[in-house]
């Protein structure tokens, strides 16, 4: 049977022999995302001929049992539903399990032995990619033990890299502590802080769209853009993750990372190159330029809310406080809407509105750029009730694509103005299914390309930006603003529309 691993000697992006070591190997992320991503990379012929995977977790599990559980997960979660048995066999036969309590430095010797055994067996040194897919409580100790056991040492020819999952800290001080402690064990260049939104095709396309189409850049500023809306809407509730979510909330879970990354990509200046530090330098500049919201303004610039019972997709669902694992006196927000202002030459005076929420009417992530009205409306005596200013919207998911709303005259004797859409859809334009975010990000980390990963200063700036919001919500230095309610299956609280209507003539764009 065909083996794509060994199929493509002309591919110049081919990786060096590698091993991926996943900590948290029995967890959800490994089964739903990481191993299916490795499998799909293998199908695409993007993994090197010498490639191994080791799963590490605290439970004692035999290789065979581990392989069986991964096999059923890949069948269930791979984007390619029809499994190529040859490719899968090649991958799973080179997959092993090591039992290692994360805080037991001695056990890392077993891991090291296993890696050396595989190197001896394949007759070559392997690049090492360690993936920390565990609870964040273990990030520090795993890194320390990896370093103590010599597994993070690099040579001229072999590299050792560590992917760190989110959440990266819980606030500014904890993120700084985590950064500092990781840097005791490895160099910044070895750390790959993952934000899976950056691996989404449509998110990467934002940069291509902005910087390879000459006609947008001249109008990409305060002279022509009225405001920007960024929406990360989900219809799911907290499900089985209430334990984590109740101590986190949507501001930490989505806005601090995914939504602010989207904002940065809309707002950044052209980087000097499409290279890790050049892109990240520009993102940091954006984050630094966003005005910090004073404690006493949090109530007027930020709306927080949580879902009440309602119906989603025709099914009755419980309110947040009724979810199992949520504290009865919880004030955790499942919805947030914020207004940001960017103090720089490009964006002065252009509000950036960001909203994120669970149990909303539908799952959709969108960025919309709302252009200013024309300076003088020539057709004002005509039927202009449908007239709207131009909106450029990036549909990040689902139904990925870009739509530009323009005004046009419908056919007929009367001069009317009507909005119409110019539409680009990934599905119909490219005719291929987009890879999953984790595929791209695993591949980039194996290649050592950190462009789509976040740097320490970026993470800290993002926490710093939200610091006052957390303080105000805790009632520090001001009266804590209310937690509004919204019906599950709706578009969020009325207060979120009112936030926009302080400056605009309408609330959030209908999605
Ligand atoms: C994760 C959050 O980072 O992103 C989840 O922790 C959220 O709460 C998820 O559901 C959304 O990701 P996606 O790719 O489905 O938009």
pLDDT in tens, 12-48: 457 899 999 999 999 999 999 999 999 999 999 999 9
Q: Which CATH class is domain 18-165?
A: alpha beta
What is the CA(363)–ligand 1 centre distance, in A?
Answer: 11
Q: Is 253 in the pocket of ligand 1 (CB under 6 A)?
A: yes
Please determine whether the domains at 18-165 and 198-433+456-504 fall in the same fold group of CATH.
no
What is the CA(196)–ligand 1 centre distance, in A?
Answer: 9
Numbers of helices and strands, H then E, in the chain: 17, 17
Q: Is 366 in the pocket of ligand 1 (CB under 6 A)?
A: no
Q: Is 234 in the pocket of ligand 1 (CB under 6 A)?
A: yes
Token duo for residue 25: 């190997």
Q: Which atom of ligand 1 is nearest to the CA of 437?
A: 14
pTM score, two decimals?
A: 0.94
DSSP state letter for 259: I
What is the CA(250)–ligand 1 centre distance, in A?
Answer: 10
The CATH code of domain 198-433+456-504 reads: 3.30.360.10
pLDDT in tens, 382-402: 666 666 789 999 999 898 899
What is the CA(395)–ligand 1 centre distance, in A?
Answer: 16
pLDDT bracket for residue 8 (50, 70, 90): very low
- Domain ranges, ordered by start, for the chain: 18-165, 198-433+456-504
Beta bridge partners of 483: 304
Measured in whole angstroms, the distance separating CA 32 from the mean position of its chain's CA atoms is 16
Q: Is 400 in the pocket of ligand 1 (CB under 6 A)?
A: no
Annotated active-site residue 258? The verdict is: yes
Predicted pLDDT of residue 413: 87
Beta bridge partners of 484: 305
- Atom 14, ligand 1: which residue's CA is nearest? 197
From 27, 195, 234, 250, the mutation candidate for ligand 1 (largest count of ligand atoms within 8 A of CB) is 234
Mean per-residue pLDDT, 207-214: 94
DSSP state letter for 291: P
**What is the pairing mode between strands 302-308 and 335-340?**
antiparallel
Rounded to the nearest integer, the mean pLDDT of the chain is 93
Active-site position among 50, 196, 258, 370: 258
């Amino acid at each position: 049977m065909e083996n794509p691993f060994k199929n493509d000697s002309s591919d110049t992006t081919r990786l060096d022999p590698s091993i991926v070591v996943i900590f948290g190997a029995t967890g959800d992320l490994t089964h739903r995302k990481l191993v299916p991503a490795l499998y799909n990379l293998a199908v695409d012929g993007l993994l090197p001929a010498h490639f191994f995977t080791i799963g590490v977790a605290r439970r004692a599990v035999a290789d065979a049992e581990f392989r069986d559980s991964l096999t059923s997960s890949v069948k269930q979660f791979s984007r390619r539903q029809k499994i190529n048995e040859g490719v899968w066999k090649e991958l799973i036969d080179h997959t092993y399990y090591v039992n290692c309590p994360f805080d037991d430095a001695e056990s890392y010797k077993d891991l090291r032995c296993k890696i050396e055994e595989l190197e001896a067996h394949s007759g070559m040194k392997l690049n090492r990619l360690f993936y920390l897919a565990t609870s964040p409580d273990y990030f520090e100790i795993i890194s320390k033990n990896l370093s103590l056991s010599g597994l993070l040492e690099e040579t001229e020819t072999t590299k050792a890299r560590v992917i760190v999952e989110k959440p990266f800290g819980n606030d500014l001080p904890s993120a700084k502590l985590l950064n500092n402690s990781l840097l005791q064990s490895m160099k910044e260049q070895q750390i790959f802080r993952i934000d899976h939104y950056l691996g989404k095709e449509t998110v990467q396309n934002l940069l291509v769209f902005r910087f390879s189409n000459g006609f947008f850049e001249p109008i990409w500023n305060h002279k022509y853009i009225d405001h920007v809306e960024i929406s990360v809407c989900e219809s799911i509730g907290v499900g089985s993750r209430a334990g984590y979510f109740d101590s986190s909330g949507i501001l930490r879970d989505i806005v601090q990372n995914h939504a602010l990354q989207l904002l940065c990509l809309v707002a950044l200046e052209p980087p000097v190159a499409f290279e890790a530090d050049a892109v990240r330098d520009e993102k940091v500049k954006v984050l630094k330029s966003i005005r910090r919201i004073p404690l006493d303004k949090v109530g007027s610039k930020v709306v927080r809310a949580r879902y009440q019972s309602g119906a989603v997709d025709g099914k009755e669902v419980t309110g947040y406080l009724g979810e199992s694992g949520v504290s009865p006196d919880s004030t955790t927000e499942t919805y947030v809407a914020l207004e940001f202002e960017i103090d720089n030459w490009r964006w002065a005076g252009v509000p950036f509105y960001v909203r994120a929420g669970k149990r909303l009417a539908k799952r959709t992530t969108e960025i919309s750029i709302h252009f200013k009205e024309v300076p003088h409306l020539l057709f004002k005596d005509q039927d202009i009730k449908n007239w709207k200013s131009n909106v450029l919207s990036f549909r990040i998911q689902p139904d990925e694509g870009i739509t530009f709303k323009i005004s046009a005259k419908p056919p007929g004797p009367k001069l009317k103005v009507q909005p119409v859409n110019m539409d680009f859809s990934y599905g119909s334009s490219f005719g291929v299914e987009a890879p999953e975010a984790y595929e791209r990000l695993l591949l980039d980390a194996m290649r050592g390309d950190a462009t789509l990963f976040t740097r320490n200063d970026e993470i800290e700036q993002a926490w710093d930006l939200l610091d006052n919001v957390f303080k105000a919500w805790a009632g520090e230095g001001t009266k804590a603003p209310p937690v509004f309610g919204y019906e599950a299956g709706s578009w969020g609280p009325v207060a979120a529309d009112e936030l926009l209507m302080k400056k605009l003539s309408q609330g959030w764009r209908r999605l």
